[in-house]
Each structure stands twice: as structure tokens, then as C-alpha cells.
Amino acid sequence: MISFDIQLDRPGFSLDVAGTFEGGITAVFGPSGAGKTTLLNCIAGSIRPDSGHVKVDGRTLYSSHEPSWIAPDRRRIGTVYQDGALFPHLDVRRNIEFGWRLIPQSSRKLAPIEIAEFLGLEKHLSRLPAELSGGERQRVAIARALAISPNLLLLDEPLASLDAARRGSILNYLKRVHAEYEIPMVYVSHSISEVAAIASKAMLLRDGRVVGFDRPTSLLLRAASSQSGTVDGQGEYQERFDNILPGVVGESTRHLTAINMACVEIFATRQNRIPGDNVVVSLGANQIILAVSEPRDISARNVIRGTVLEIWSSEGRVFLEVDTGQKLIVELTESALDDLRIEVGTDVFLVFKSSSVDIFDA
């Protein structure tokens, strides 16, 4: 559990936040300059707050009341940055082992080679960072952070420099890391798609203050349809929302490949993959058509029945969370919502083309 009450004043910026992260994966979300990275730096110890406290799992890392301060290298907090921040002159093995060698042998819970194998890096151990892809470098950064057997993992926009395919892959790895090692994570991002895909809780920051702390879909979709959630700070939300979900390859026909996602089977354009392969599915919320009666004789290959769980509407932009056995987010206009008379509890049909489904390696 991470408990914090942080006050920080710097020229041109102040941070005044308090909250508790109760394990799992918690996202910190907000526009540029909101204080996301500053909050992480206060937890990691690279910035010393002016007042308040920071506690992790009952251990006081900083307190202005006692007073107390634990140096960053003694906090056992792993950090993954946007660019990975790998040592360019060290190969993958030595990058992963760097922090591991600095901690006492009695504190070593995870073996570097086991972490490398878990993250699919065993074939790259002798390579330098310059010889790796962006996704591989981020996996090395995650492995290096895990090698210190951290009590907490901080991730500062770790996918910002990656393309869509690698973002989905790294999100999948992070969820596996949490499930396998049960290490709490704080994930900083300005992408609502990433946050909704990975986090169990989300905190919305604006101007150095907490303005929301809730389930990702509840918090972030409200943010997406209001000025308080803007990324560019100009009153207009720019990002397309993508449903990013795990899937398993099924059988293929001449033109289509079935993808199994929990209780739902969807169809993508034919994939050169083997049945049983794990994949990441990306489906834009604005690529899904909503119908209140089952459509027939249409070209779209995917027609899925579901029930509306929640609706957020503001200034012409509407998001719906629909339970199909797998929860999906759908975007439509306010006029369409009114014309179709959709409300929470309404049974609907989600319709989308196979070409709207992007499939990436997991």
C-alpha cells in the first residue's frame, strides 16, 4: 500500500496531492504539466517534497513531521522511464544485472536470468541497446527494474515512444509481470487507452491537484468528454480511444481469422498465425456501430450482443461501456444516443468490420 500526502512548491509549479494506492496497478493520468512525473519523483526520492509524507507498505520514506528521509537507493523502488534509460555501453545481461549487483544478496528475490526468460529476452542477452527494437529496450528496462526485487514499480509513460503494435505488446507484458510477481505498480500516462487497458484504479491530476480517483472507465471516459480531461489543455480532447485487449488466435478461413477474447469470438482479416497464439487486439471505439435490434444481411463480419453498463455524454461526444462478456467501449454522437433511445441496461448489438480489428503479437 502506498500512502502519500505531498506538498511541493517550485517556481512556476506547485503540487498538493494526497491519496492511497492499495496494490494492483494504479494509473496517474492528466494533461501535460499536471504533476504526474513530479508525483512519481517524490515517491522515488529523486525530488524531496517541502512537506507531507510518503509511505510504502507501512514504511515511511519521507515525513516532514518526524522528520524522516530515506535515500532513493535504499527505497527498493524500481522505475521505468519513457526512453528506457539503458546504459548504452552495457549489453542486455549487464543492464539487467546492474541494480541486482548493488543490493545485498539476502535481498535478492528474483534471478536476472529468470526475469529475462519471463520477458522473452534470453536470446538478446549479449546485445547492446542500440541493437534492439524500441519494444525490446523497454522490456530490458522493465527487467532491470524487477531485478532489484522492488517493493513498488513506477512507470513514467513507458510506451510514449513506441508504435501501436509494441504498445499493446508491452501492456500485455506488464499485466503478466503484475500477475506473476504481485508487485504493485504506479503507471503514469496521458493515454486513456493505455490506462483503461492496464489499471484497476486511476487518479486524475490537474494543475498539481487530484481532481478524481476512481475506476479507469468511470474516471477516464468522463475526462475524455470534458475539458478537465484534456491532454492539450486547450479544451479539446485529441486522442482516439482504442479498446486494447488480450486474445487467442482461433481457426482461419480463406479471408478471416477468429480471435477468442474471454467469452467473445470476433473476426479479423486473415492472420498468418497459428491457432492458440496469444495476441493483443486493438479496436477503435469510433469504429463500432451500435444497433438496438439485430442487423441482418450486412457486410460487417462482427455482430455482438451486449448490455449498456454506463454512459458518459458531454458536448456532442458520448462513450458507452458495453458488457458483451468482454467489456468494450463504444463512441457515438449525442444525436445518435437520443435517436436510438439508449440508456443504462439497454440491450444493444455492436457491429464492426473485420478490417477495423488490428492484431499484434503478444
Model confidence band, residue 164 (pLDDT cutoffs 50, 70, 90):
low
> Per-residue confidence at 318, pLDDT binned at 50, 70, 90?
confident
- Given strand 68-69, what is the order of strands in its sheet? 13-21, 2-10, 51-56, 59-63, 68-69
Question: pLDDT of 23-67, one tens digit each?
Answer: 788 999 887 888 898 899 999 998 899 899 888 888 899 999 888
Beta strands 357-361; 302-314: pairing state: unpaired
Ordered domains of the chain (ranges, CATH): 2-229 (3.40.50.300), 242-361 (2.40.50.100)
* pLDDT interval class at 235 (50, 70, 90): very low
DSSP secondary structure string for all residues of 177-216:
HHHHH---EEEEES-HHHHHHH-SEEEEEETTEEEEEE-H
Query: Which residue is associated with the grid cell 440491450?
Result: 347
Q: Which residue has the higher pLDDT, 65 or 218?
A: 65
| CA angle 7–236–330, rounded 5-degree value | 105
- Count CB-CB contacts under 10 A for residue 112: 24
Q: In the prediction, which pLDDT does 222 show?
A: 60
Asked if the model's pLDDT at residue 156 lies above 50, the reply is yes
Name the 3-class secondary structure at 290: strand
Q: With a cut of 80, say whether residue 343 has pLDDT above it.
A: yes
For 232-256, what is the mean pLDDT?
72
Q: Confidence band (pLDDT; 50, 70, 90) for 220?
A: low
Rounded distance, CA 175 to CA 77, Å? 18
Quote the CA–CA distance of 115 and 109 in Å, as a whole number.
11
- Average pLDDT over every residue of 252-256: 91
Average pLDDT for the chain? 84
pLDDT at 279: 86
Please state, for a pLDDT cut of 70, what percent of the chain lies above it. 92
Q: What is the pLDDT of residue 224?
A: 55
Whole-number pLDDT of residue 221: 61
Lowest mean pLDDT across 31-45, 227-241, 252-266, 272-286: 227-241
pLDDT at 12 (0 to 100): 72
Is the pLDDT confidence value at 272 over 80?
yes
Asked if the model's pLDDT at residue 174 lies above 90, the reply is: no
Residue 34 cell numbers, joined = 499536471
Alpha-carbon torsion 147, 151, 156, 162, what sign?
Answer: positive
User: In 3D, which of 226, 202, 183 has the Cα closest to residue 312?
Assistant: 226
What is the distance between the alpha carbons of residues 285 and 340, in angstroms, rounded to a whole number? 18
pLDDT surpasses 80 at 167: no
Q: Give tens-digit pLDDT for 101-113.
A: 877 777 777 788 8
User: What average pLDDT does range 254-265 have in this prediction?
Assistant: 91
Residues near 20 by beta carbon (within 8 Å), at least 6 away in sequence: 1, 2, 3, 4
User: Of 317 and 71, which is predicted with more confidence?
Assistant: 71
Highest mean pLDDT of the ranges 2-16, 152-166, 332-346: 332-346
Report the distance separating Cα 205 and Cα 199, nearest Å. 16
User: How far from the centroid of its chain's Cα atoms is residue 172's Cα?
Assistant: 9
Q: Say yes or no to pLDDT of 236 above 70.
A: no
Partnered with residue 349 across adjacent β-strands are 291, 305
C-beta neighbour count of 302 within 10 angstroms: 22
Phi/psi at 328 (5° precision): -130, 150
pTM above 0.85, yes or no: no
**How much is the pLDDT for 316?**
67
The proportion of the chain whose per-residue pLDDT surpasses 90, expressed as a percent, equals 25
266 vs 249: CA distance, rounded Å: 10
pLDDT, one tens digit per residue, over 115-144 is 888 888 888 999 999 998 888 888 888 888
Reference 156, options 191, 119, 193; nearest CA is: 191
Q: Is the pLDDT at 315 greater than 70, yes or no?
A: no
Element (H, E) at 153: strand 152-156
Q: What confidence tier does 239 reach under pLDDT thresholds 50, 70, 90? A: low
3-class state of residue 11 by DSSP: coil
